[in-house]
Amino acid sequence: MPEKNMGTRTITVSDITKKRTESGNDYLIVKSNGDVFYVWDKALFGLLKPGKKLKVEILEGKYPRIISAEEVQEEKADLDGREERMIRMSALRDATILLSGVNGMIYEERVRQVKRLADQFELWIKEGVWYEKEKGKSEGEREAGSEAG
C-alpha cells in the first residue's frame, strides 16, 4: 500500500523499541496513545524518549513514518498580578496559622520562619515542589530523595 500523505501532529511518546532489519539497518517503533509510528532517520533517535512531547511530521500509510520531530516546550500558565497576589497571601496566611502555635519564638525569628514557610507553600502551589532544589525532578525522584533524607 503506498504512502498517502504527510501530516503534522503533537504526540507524547509512551514507548520506544529499537529494531534492526535483516540488512542491518536500525529503526525505532514509537508508540503514543495507542498509535504506532516508525522512525528510520537516525538523527531523530536521540529526540525520541518516553514521556517527551514532540511535534512530528508523519508520512501516513500502512507503516506511518515520523520524518521530522521537534521537542514541544511545555508552557507554564502565566499568572496575572491578581493571581500572584492571591497565591502569596494564601501562603502567608497558612504559614502564619501553622506557626501561631509555636511558643517561645521571638518575634523576629517568627517573621523569618513565616516568610520561609510561605515561600515553600508558594513554590508548592506554583511548581508542585517543596524545595527549590527539587525543580525539574520527577515525582519519583523527589519521593526517593525524601525517603533517603
- Please give the pLDDT value at position 66: 94
Q: What are phi and psi of 12, to 5 degrees?
A: -115, 120
Q: List the chain residues with pLDDT less than 70.
A: 1-5, 74-78, 129-149
Q: What is the pLDDT of residue 116?
A: 92
What is the pTM (predicted TM-score) of this model? 0.49
| Predicted pLDDT of residue 149 | 47
Supply the pLDDT for residue 31: 94
